[in-house]
Amino acid sequence: MVIDPFSRKVVDWTLAPTMPAGCSALQIAITQCRPASGLIVHSDRGSQYASEAHRRLLERHGLRASMSRKGNRWDNAVMERFFLNLKMEQVWLRDYANHAEATCDFTEYIVGFYNSVRLHSKRGYLSPTAYERNRAEKHLIGVSENTW
């Protein structure tokens, strides 16, 4: 799971039946968003984030790793809150028949509700998508009347 803390938008995610050492959600997010060198990528202390593959991926793209302190869930509060919302608003209300059904449901929740509809008190009661759009409109750069 990759969440942009600016807007609280879920940038990308993967759902695997096991805990792989690979970083497919992060790789996809990097490809889509092309972040500037120096971006801080925060994670918990999971083995997949301490893996050589994860460190190489960050290094290859000039990104900096930041890990939560041991046993301190508050360091990763945005992500922890997302997973609590996902469980309360989706998972605990369903009984998934298989991995594919859960993956489809999570995708519908993230794309169709969480990013585009769900209001966030920390973002002025706007959805992540609306918050990004609102911020972009407020920070438009004026274009000169002069042309080349």
- How far apart CA 32 and CA 30 sit, in angstroms, is 6
The tokens 């519908």 sit on which residue?
108
Specify the 3-state DSSP secondary structure of 53: helix
Q: Of 139, 84, 51, whose CA–CA distance to 76 is shortest? A: 84
- How far apart CA 33 and CA 20 sit, in angstroms, is 23
**CATH class of the domain whose range is 2-138:** alpha beta
Locate the domains of the chain by residue range.
Answer: 2-138
- State the DSSP H helix or E strand holding residue 135, giving kind and residue range, or none if neither: helix 128-138
What is the chain's pLDDT, residue by residue, as a tens digit (148 residues)?
A: 888 888 999 988 888 777 665 567 888 888 888 888 888 888 877 778 888 888 899 999 999 888 877 877 677 788 889 999 999 999 999 999 999 999 999 999 999 999 999 999 989 999 999 999 998 888 765 544 544 4
